[in-house]
A and B are shown apart, each in its own frame.
Chain A
Amino acid sequence: GAVVSQHPSRVICKSGTSVKIECRSLDFQATTMFWYRQFPKKSLMLMATSNEGSKATYEQGVEKDKFLINHASLTLSTLTVTSAHPEDSSFYICSARYDGRSYNEQFFGPGTRLTVL
Chain B
Amino acid sequence: GENVEQHPSTLSVQEGDSAVIKCTYSDSASNYFPWYKQELGKRPQLIIDIRSNVGEKKDQRIAVTLNKTAKHFSLHITETQPEDSAVYFCAASEFNKFYFGSGTKLNVKP
Contact A110 B42 (CB under 8 A): yes
For A42, give its contact among B1, B45, B98, B103 (CB under 8 Å). B103
Chain B residues bordering chain A, tally (CB within 8 A): 25
The answer to whether B98 touches A34 (Cβ under 8 A) is yes
9-residue interface stretch from B13-21, B66-74, B89-97: B89-97
Question: A90 CA to B89 CA in the complex, in Å?
Answer: 18
A103: B residues at CB distance < 8 A = 32, 51
* A3 CB to nearest B CB, Å: 11
B96 and A44 within 8 A (CB): no
Tally the A-B contacts, defined by beta carbons under 8 Å: 57
- Interchain CB contact under 8 A, B96 and A46: no
Determine the main DSSP class of B at the interface with A.
Answer: strand
**Interface residue range, chain A:** 20 to 34
Which B residues are CB-close (under 8 A) to A109? Answer: 43
Smallest CB separation, B94 vs chain A (Å): 9
Complex contact B46–A105 (CB within 8 A): yes
A32 CB-CB contact with B under 8 Å: yes
- Give me the interface of B with A, judged by CB distance under 8 Å: 1, 31-32, 34, 36, 41-46, 49, 51, 89, 93, 95-103, 105
For B101, list chain A residues within 8 Å (CB).
Answer: 43
CB distance from B105 to the nearest CB of A (A): 8
Given A60-B1, A105-B34, check contact A110 B43 (CB 8 Å): yes
Residue on B with the closest CB to A94? B43
Closest 4 CB pairs of A and B: A104-B32, A108-B43, A104-B93, A44-B100
CB pairs A–B below 8 angstroms (9 shown): A41-B103, A43-B102, A49-B97, A59-B1, A91-B41, A95-B98, A104-B95, A109-B43, A110-B42
Residues of B within 8 A of A104 (CB): 31-32, 34, 93, 95-96, 98
Check A42/B102 contact, CB under 8 A, given A93-B43, A103-B32, A105-B34: yes
Residues of chain A lying within 8 A (CB to CB) of residue B45: 108
